[in-house]
Amino acid sequence: MAVESPRGAELRGAAADADTAETTEVTAEVGATAAGVAAGTAPARDTPGGRDPDTGSPDPAETLSGTAGKTGAAETADGGAHEGGPSGEDGGGATAAAPDAAPRGPLGHRITLWIGARANGTWARMRRHPIFTVIIATAALLRVVAMVGYQPAMFFNDSFDYLHVAMGLYPHPLRPDGYSFLLWALKPFHSFALVAAVQHLMGLSMGVMIYALLRRKFGLPGWGAALATVPVLFDAYQIQLEHLVLSDTTFTFLVMCAVTLLLWHDRPSWKIALAVGLIIGFSWLTRSVGAPVLLGVLVFMLIRRMGWRTMVITAAACALPVLSYMTWYKVDSGKFAITESNGIFLYARVYKFADCHKMHGLPVSEYPLCTEPVNRLPNSQDGIWNAASPFNRFPGTRFSPENNKLGNDFAKRAILGQPGPYLKVVAHDFFRVFRWDRTVFPDKATYSQYEFGKKSNALPDWRMDADSTASGEARAYEHGDARTHVIEPFGGVMRGYQDVFYLRGTMLGGVLLLGLGGMVALWRRFGGEALLPWTLATGLLLAPAATAEFDYRYVLPAVPLAALAAGMAFTPEVRHRLDGWWRRLRGRPGPGGALDVPSEPVGRKVPEVTAG
């Protein structure tokens, strides 16, 4: 029997410790990365050679973690314990215990160690993304000020329709119930402040998604990826929209989730396709404009050659919630539909130009929808909401199946009979988006609801049905006073902020042009991955102009997508292509010594440039 020398035992033990530390380091890094991806804030992967892409210097975390693998001390760049284990008592590097070998102390002690380890990991990730950490923290602070200054939340006219459905679920004839389902889910908490908080978190999450995609997936430097989030995180009207009890923030968040999932995976699995389809379906049930989003996603999949299987799964997954909702609608109202309002809203689009003298074969039943030019009201929406609306010439409720059918048929006749005037009003409303000044529209009463106000206005006493009013249902949901209370000086801070810090229409146009420029550089690949967010952003701006009327709140859902597309115009691949064009224009050879042959073949994905 051989007897091991003390020196051999010492070496064996050191090797075992090193193996344990290395295994723990890898396990902790994988866990931290997975958690970061789920939150949209995953730290960047190390570049080959462990160098920081911004400075070109060796990554301290890479160097120190390599040392830890040799010595058994999983020490991070900030001198604390590795995020996979508890910190040492002296603040230096502490050996990270493997999960199976975790200490079995009292429960309170284990919880304390776990919290400390998580805090260590969070702090390490924040240090690796300092610029974005400052931006997201400041954006969160602004939202806290809004919540303190306007309690418990803010309301728009449409808020009370959503709330009415949430108090007793039924398919609403005017708009789909997706947002009402969210209000219904939060109803047990009896807090509009919670509704506003959830929506503010959605707004912050959209910034995180943009940063994570640009930083991790497309290789932008930290400052560049952080800059792309500013239009979403700091726009005062975006913050105010998040504070309103309205569907727009939820819709935008769902669309951004679908886009993020799709862009994160070059070849999405069937599970990703399923998730994307379901999310788009829920967005469709939140706002009807979600239908074109599905079309845009499927076209993108086709261009990117993601396969018929992926496209079919996405479409089927989207259809599942939508068809289920339509079945519910049919059981309740007798019609297989999502709403009974699309035709009425389309009538509002043609109200400003429709000339019944040029509409041949107009049935007598639609004569009441005709309006002489001298009698027309100033805005398209007046064709629906004004007391003098032509729909008030019909008996019964305004949003009835009969009126919807009449309005839809009349509008189609007007568009086909007068395509020129139709295109003119669509172009007028589309380009109104890009004006520098934010003028009062459509009227002062509506416009004021999009701003942080000075007064605590009373809730309306509109009759929602035979047994309830708007104010009564709001009080029932809140279990108390639901009126918006303006708390100074916080309300004044937000009003002053909103006067200065918002994304002007011309700025949004510039953001879209940046994204378009990046797509032109990759024209052989139909604009590359930026095609998806850019076309969706443009489509979301065009859809209201084509089917209803311009409204300021309809602009904001396009901003995160436009900002993402603009950031993608500065990816290494685009910069490489533009550099090649510039060299050819100046007649200088490229890195390979040839004028026309780029060093990277067209269409090949440039390696990710990611690090801390």
Task: Please state the domain extents for the chain.
Answer: 13-81+105-128
pLDDT in tens, 48-94: 334 444 434 444 333 333 433 433 333 333 433 333 333 333 344 44
Q: Is the pLDDT of residue 500 over 70?
A: yes
**Does the pLDDT value for residue 107 go beyond 80?**
no
pLDDT for 53: 41
- Residues 70 and 15: their CA atoms lie apart, in Å, by 9
Confidence of residue 111 (pLDDT cuts 50, 70, 90): confident
Helix, strand, coil fractions of the chain, as percent rounded to 5? 65, 0, 35
Q: For the residues 483-498, what does the mean pLDDT come to? A: 97
- The region of weakest confidence among 85-89, 313-317, 515-519, 544-548 is 85-89
With contact defined as beta carbons under 8 Å apart, do 443 and 377 qualify?
no
Query: Nearest 10 degrees: CA dihedral of 229, 559, 265, 297?
Result: 180
Least confident of 269-273, 390-394, 550-554, 581-585: 581-585
Q: Percent of the chain at pLDDT above 70? A: 78
pLDDT in tens, 420-437: 999 999 999 999 999 999
Calculated CA dihedral for residues 303, 309, 315, 321, nearest 10 degrees: -150
pLDDT at position 153 is: 98
The residues that bridge with 484 in the sheet, in sequence order, are none
pLDDT of residue 156: 96
What is the average per-residue pLDDT within 9-20? Answer: 45
Average of per-residue pLDDT across 292-321: 96
Please tell me whether residue 532 adopts helix, strand or coil conformation.
helix
Per-residue pLDDT, averaged over 259-273, amounts to 96
CA proximity to 495, closest of 87, 145, 188: 145
The DSSP output letter for 390 is G
Helical H segments across 418-504, by residue range: 419-432, 444-448, 470-478, 490-500
Average pLDDT of the residues in 131-136: 97
Tokens of 55: 């400075």
Taking the CA of residue 245 as centre, how many other CA atoms within 13 Å lie in the half-sphere pointing to its CB?
33
pLDDT of 67 reads 37
With tokens 């009207």, the residue in question is 237
User: SS3 for 99?
Assistant: helix
Give buried/exposed letters for 462-483 (b at 16+ CB in 10 A, else e).
eebeeebbbbbbbeebbeeebb
Question: In this predicted structure, what is the pLDDT of residue 521?
Answer: 87
pLDDT at 472 over 90: yes
Which uninterrupted H or E stretch holds 154? none
Tokens of 204: 């912050």
CB contact at 8 A, 404 and 341 = yes
User: Is-cis flag, bond preceding 152, omega within 30?
Assistant: yes
Average pLDDT, the chain: 83
- Dump strand ranges (E) for 137-231: 150-151
> Does residue 75 sit in helix, strand or coil?
strand
517 pLDDT tier (thresholds 50, 70, 90):
very high
Q: Is the pTM of this model over 0.85?
A: no
Q: Where are the beta strands (DSSP E) in 389-531?
A: 463-465, 468-469, 485-486
pLDDT, tens digit (0-9, with 9 covering 90-100), for 272-290:
999 999 999 999 999 999 9
Residue 457: enclosing H or E segment and its boundaries? Answer: none
Report, as an integer, the average pLDDT of 328-348. Answer: 94
| C-alpha radius of gyration, the chain, whole number | 28
Query: What does the pLDDT read at residue 127?
Result: 74
The mean pLDDT of 214-226, rounded to a whole number, is 95
Q: What is residue 591's predicted lDDT score, i.e. its pLDDT? A: 55
Express as a percent the part of the chain with pLDDT over 90: 65
pLDDT greater than 70 at residue 247: yes
Return d(Cα 212, Cα 41) in angstroms, integer.
Answer: 6
pLDDT value at residue 51: 42
Where residue 32 falls among pLDDT bands split at 50, 70, 90? very low
- Per-residue pLDDT, 590: 54
| Residue whose tokens read 């506003």 | 196
In Å, the largest CA–CA distance within the chain is 112
Task: Say which amino acid occupies 480.
Answer: G
What pLDDT is stored for residue 104 in this prediction? 59
For residue 40, is pLDDT > 50? Answer: no
- What mean pLDDT comes out for the span 405-429? 95
Per DSSP, what are the bridge partners of residue 463?
469
Q: pLDDT, tens digit, for every residue of 345-372?
A: 999 999 999 999 889 889 999 999 999 8
Listed range (27-41, 250-264, 504-518, 573-587) with the worst mean pLDDT: 27-41
The span from the first CA to the last CA of the chain, in angstroms, equals 53
Amino acid residing at 281: G
Find the helix or strand (DSSP H, E) in which 77 lies.
Answer: none
